[in-house]
Structure 1
Amino acid sequence: MQVNIILLAAGKGLRFQQSVPNQVGCGSIKQLAQIDGKPLITYSIEKLQPLLEHAGVNILYVTLGANKNVIKSRLPAEVSVIASQHWSQGMGHTLAESVHSIKAHSSHVLIALADQALVTTEHYQALLNASKAQPNKIIATRCDEQLMAPAIFPEKYFPQLLKLQGDKGAGKLLQQHANKFDAITCAEAKFDIDTLADLEQVRQYLQNAQAENNLSETTS
């Protein structure tokens, strides 16, 4: 297996901008919103980087579009950037461009979303392990009986990924191939940051989790 990772972070985040009307400049860029003292994009990258230690996992790509130069300046040096030319036409176009960029060097692609901040490294590793065990199957995430990203697609599905357009992302293919995948449950995948309220919910979730960990360490 030659797995490459694509973290999609190309959108303009209009709903986020509209929810923080008093912010200007970087303050209204969703990918740079602060979570646990880090920009969202950095926080998401750090969850994926440990996968690069696995044999066969090659490169972590971040696909950028809106505010590309500002966001790129905040990325770790070891991250490769895919510049989406058609990000404004929707996630489908962005994903198709991204897969086109890496398809010649991949047997599988792991597609992740930057605004799913609570998806853990452990879940990504579980997806990867399942893909290694079943390399011909799509390995998706299940949450509240829905199939979604993050997901791993084998090479034979690349032509279909390349045809995606508009706002239809990987979820469209998951629905079409319901009998050709395995899925791993991840309750945290439902936390998708679209607005400031979503961001605050994620921050509160992390604070509560940290408080529980501290209490557990104290009592033990």
Structure 2
Amino acid sequence: MAAGASSRLGRPKALLPVVSGNRAETDSRNHTLLDAAIGQGRVLSPDVRVVCGAWYPLIRFRCRRQPSAWLRAGDWHEGMSASLSAGLRSLGPAVKGVFVLVADQPLLDLNALEAFGKAARCVPEQPIAADYGGRPGVPAYLPRWLWPLVLELEGDRGAGRLLAEVRATRVDIPGVHDDVDTPADWHRIRALLSRTGPTARQSRR
């Protein structure tokens, strides 16, 4: 999901540059947070769909990696529920479940993300979500039976509370607490990116 206005940041966060600490990786210098998020999505599935709203079509044209589909949530200003609805309604009847990622968590551990995806495929009827100190959040896996309840959500409300109510399995995915909401967040995360060079991890697929 990449539909928000990034009001606290003051500019489209999806287009923030992801720079590796390895100078040899010159190609990575033009990657954005959204490019990194698409790479994360490909760890989980070859079918990666980006839900946009504010700043569209700018982020589409500035993004180097192309997803399977660009989806525009016309009511994006209503909040996260609109993005979830747009994503779910784009999927066909044969789909058993969906993985939900956001565009501002560039430090997610890809090995943990891959294990999360394998766990969801082993038990496709069970909701699974990242553990935020005892509460579930994104990245998350939503089995199809849960979608009607997700579609009933309103406003700037994600599926976290719903996942808690249905007792989703919580898994540890390092990096979930490192999201970008403010300029201070970005300065801190950019420093971590420069030191650790996670762009190479994001780009392995």
TM-score where L is the length of structure 1: 0.79
* Residue number in structure 2 paired with 1:35: 18
Q: Which has the higher contact order (CA 8 A, sep 6+)?
A: 2
Q: Percent identity?
A: 26
Contact 2:135/2:164 (CA < 8 Å) preserved in 1? no
Question: As a proportion of its length, which structure holds more strand?
Answer: 1
Q: Which of 117, 125, 129 does residue 136 from structure 1 map onto? A: 125
The answer (yes or no) to whether the contact 2:51–2:86 under 8 Å persists in 1 is no
Summarize deviations over 1:149-204 as a string: whole Å, max 9, x none: 101011100111111110110112112112xx212112310111001111111112
Count of equivalent residues: 187
1:15 equivalent in structure 2: 8
Q: 1:158 aligns with which of 138, 147, 161?
A: 147
Tell me, what secondary structure is at the counterpart of 2:99? strand
1:23 is aligned to none
Structure 1 residues 172 and 74: CA distance shift in structure 2, 3 A: same
SS in structure 2 at match of 1:124: helix
**1:86, 1:105 → 2: CA distance?**
26
Alpha-carbon distance in 1 for matches of 2:141, 2:166: 13
- Give me the TM-score of the superposition, normalised by structure 2: 0.84
Maintained 8 Å contact 1:65/1:84: yes
Give runs of aligned pairs for residues 172-183 of structure 1, distance below 5 A. 172-178=161-167, 181-183=168-170
CA positional deviation for 1:210? 4.4
Deviates more, 1:162-171 or 1:71-80: 71-80
Partner of 2:61: 73
Identify which range, 62-71 or 88-97, moves more after superposition.
88-97
Establish whether residue 206 from structure 1 lines up as the match of residue 193 from structure 2: yes
1:194 equivalent in structure 2: 181
| Contact 1:143–1:187 under 8 Å retained in 2 | no
Q: Match of 1:68, SS?
A: coil
Aligned equivalent of 1:20 = none
- Please tell me whether the aligned partners of residues 50 and 67 of structure 2 are also in contact (alpha carbons under 8 angstroms): no
Q: 1:73 & 1:147 partners in 2: Cα distance? A: 33
The structure whose Rg is larger is 1
2 CA distance for matches of 1:61 and 1:80? 5
Partner Cα separation in structure 1 for residue 68 and residue 184 of structure 2: 29
Segments of structure 2 that go 5 or more residues without pairing to the other structure are 20-28, 199-205
The answer to whether the Cα contact below 8 Å between 2:6 and 2:12 also exists between their aligned partners in 1 is yes
Please tell me the residue identity of whatever aligns with 1:35: V
Q: Could you tell me whether the CA contact under 8 Å between 2:100 and 2:138 is conserved in 1? A: yes
Any idea what SS the aligned residue of 1:15 has?
A: coil
* Amino acid paired to 2:189: V
- 2:76·2:83 contact (CA, 8 Å) conserved in 1? yes
How far has the Cα of 1:51 moved from its partner? 3.2
Q: SS at 1:127's partner residue?
A: helix
Give the CA deviation at 1:78. 4.5
Contact 1:103–1:158 at 8 Å: present in 2 too?
no
From the two aligned structures, give the one with the greater helix fraction: 1
Runs ≥4 residues deviating over 4 A: none
Q: Deviations over 1:51-97 (max 9, x none)?
A: 33xxxxx5100000001110111333453111101100001122112
The whole-number CA distance in structure 2 between the counterparts of 1:188 and 1:47 is: 12
Is the CA contact (8 Å cut-off) linking 1:92 and 1:165 kept in structure 2?
yes
